[in-house]
Amino acid sequence: MPTSITTRPWRRALPALCLLALSSPLLAAEFIINTTADAADTNPGDGQCAGFGLPPSARCSLRAAIMEANAQGGTHLIGLPDGDYILDEAGIDEDQAVTGDLDIRADITIVNGSAALPFIGQQVGDRLFEVHPTASLTLQHVGLGGGEALNGARPFGGAVLVWYAADLQIERSYLFGNRASKGGAVHVWGDASIVDSALEFNFLVDPAPDDDNQGSAIAVERTIFAPAQLGLVRSSLSDNGEVEFNGNLVPNSYALLVEDGAKAQIYNTSIIDNTRGIWVRSASQLDMGQSTIANNRSFGLRFDHNPDNPDPRLTVLFTVIAGNGGVAQCRSASAFFLNPNLTQLDVSDHANAATDVSCGFVGASDVALDGWPFHPQPMQHDLTRYYLPVPGRGLVDAGGPTCMGPDDQ
């Protein structure tokens, strides 16, 4: 498994047929960014996107546009052309987007209409975006890399931190090389939806790590204030965890953490080539279908059930868990297997497949795989990565009588 965040380039392009659909929102944007410089807005609320100290011909910076949108409130569309947008206004834990990360306090959509992904990064030791309560952020076709949440009051979400009662939507985007003590790329206390996107080479850093340091790509955590939910669709989490890093890298991290009563829904998504796959704990819920958890260095899926809650908390349909390292493909807090008799589990007889019995896939429609069922190298589709099944190895034409879609297995 690759271990360097520089192994693959951050720039990705969508097919030319997609460009018409992407270009029209840019032309209709309320603010169109015309400089890659990072500068705070001169007078937030005056309706003008004007970065301090920038020339009139190129003064609408990304930071200035966000500050202006926040000051006005309501809904705003920001057009972001291709380019490298490096946040260099130093000052973490400032919450008005003047310095450090870009604080979102309105309903803001940032859209790119070019073939290549614009890159948003930082060089001030802070994350990239912080979505505050009641606000929403939509990111369409962008790259987020090098974000860092380690030194401030909230060391969560290296690229994006989503507060309770806040909303994040990420579409056709690439998040890579971000780091935090929890939620290496994204940390969710509110609602988040990630579609047609890839999260790669994100990781966790802590000088004294423990089991709280989890979610090398994403952490979803319910707070006392509001529910927390994640939707992950047609996306991939790959090569997250133990990357090449000269620091206090957290070992044995799961790419996705769902905890404290949070809920995650995962469909048509690949969790592959990470240090570990998914950990669901403390009365949380995972619904997963048409997905693959494969070739992670250690356990593919860990589910720690809550004996005080008899309702189904883990549902798995049309999913493959195969080729993960360690003692077993799936495990719980107390054993290297999931007990299919637990009332919290709904995993058996749903046309699932695994390379051992630890996941509880023991129904008539489930498939016991004899070995690695995929081609040896992952495939690339636009931004996302996945493993392609090999005919004759147990997956092709092994779906159940009622499939969720034409591309189930």
Q: What is the pLDDT of residues 158-197, one digit of tens each?
A: 999 999 999 999 999 999 999 999 999 999 999 999 999 9
- Residue 16 belongs to some domain of the structure: no
Helix, strand counts (H, E) of the chain: 2, 36
Q: Quick one: average pLDDT of 46-71? A: 97
Q: What is the pLDDT of residues 192-238, one digit of tens each?
A: 999 999 999 999 999 999 999 999 999 999 999 999 999 999 999 99
- Residue 85 belongs to some domain of the structure: no
Q: Would the pLDDT of 301 be above 50?
A: yes
Q: Which residue has the higher pLDDT, 381 or 403?
A: 381
The predicted structure's pLDDT at residue 7? 31
Cα gap 307→80, rounded to integer Å: 49
Range of the domain at 334: 127-386
- Residue 372 belongs to some domain of the structure: yes
Tell me the CA distances in angstroms from 285 to 288, 324, 333, one per residue in order: 10, 22, 15
Q: Which residue has the higher pLDDT, 275 or 340?
A: 275
- Residue 277 belongs to some domain of the structure: yes
The predicted structure's pLDDT at residue 396? 80
Q: Would the pLDDT of 96 be above 70?
A: yes
Q: Would the pLDDT of 107 be above 80?
A: yes
The predicted structure's pLDDT at residue 356? 97
Q: Quick one: average pLDDT of 241-268? A: 92
Q: Would the pLDDT of 2 be above 50?
A: no
Q: Quick one: average pLDDT of 17-44? A: 72
What band does 1 get if pLDDT is binned at 50, 70 and 90? very low
The predicted structure's pLDDT at residue 24? 45
Q: Quick one: average pLDDT of 303-309? A: 81
Q: Which residue has the higher pLDDT, 146 or 22?
A: 146
- Of 263, 387, 380, the residue nearest 323 (C-alpha): 387
User: Beta-strand (E) ranges in 260-313?
Assistant: 263-267, 270-272, 276-280, 285-289, 292-294, 301-303
Contact 333, 364 (CB under 8 A): no
Q: Which CATH number is 350's domain given?
A: 2.160.20.10
- What six digits make up the tokens of 387? 């493993």
- Residue 377 belongs to some domain of the structure: yes
The predicted structure's pLDDT at residue 402? 55
- Tokens 């569309």, residue located: 77
Residues β-bridged to residue 314: 286, 345
- Residue 214 belongs to some domain of the structure: yes
Q: Would the pLDDT of 404 be above 70?
A: no
The predicted structure's pLDDT at residue 334? 85
Q: What is the pLDDT of residues 322-366, one digit of tens each?
A: 999 989 999 999 899 997 678 889 999 999 999 999 999 999 999
Q: What is the pLDDT of residues 110-144, one digit of tens each?
A: 999 888 999 999 999 999 999 999 999 999 999 99
What band does 53 get if pLDDT is binned at 50, 70 and 90? very high
pLDDT exceeding 90 applies to what percent of the chain? 81
The predicted structure's pLDDT at residue 409? 36
- Of 156, 85, 84, 142, the residue nearest 108 (C-alpha): 142
The rounded mean pLDDT for the chain is 90
Q: Which residue has the higher pLDDT, 105 or 30?
A: 105
Torsion of CA 365, 305, 201, 179, to 10 degrees: 160
Q: Would the pLDDT of 273 be above 90?
A: yes
- Residue 395 belongs to some domain of the structure: no
Q: Quick one: average pLDDT of 28-33? A: 81
What band does 408 get if pLDDT is binned at 50, 70 and 90? very low
The predicted structure's pLDDT at residue 3? 33
The predicted structure's pLDDT at residue 180? 97
The predicted structure's pLDDT at residue 245? 72
The structural domain count of the chain equals: 1
What's the Rg (C-alpha) of the chain?
Answer: 21
The answer to whether the pTM exceeds 0.85 is yes
The predicted structure's pLDDT at residue 5? 34
- Residue 348 belongs to some domain of the structure: yes
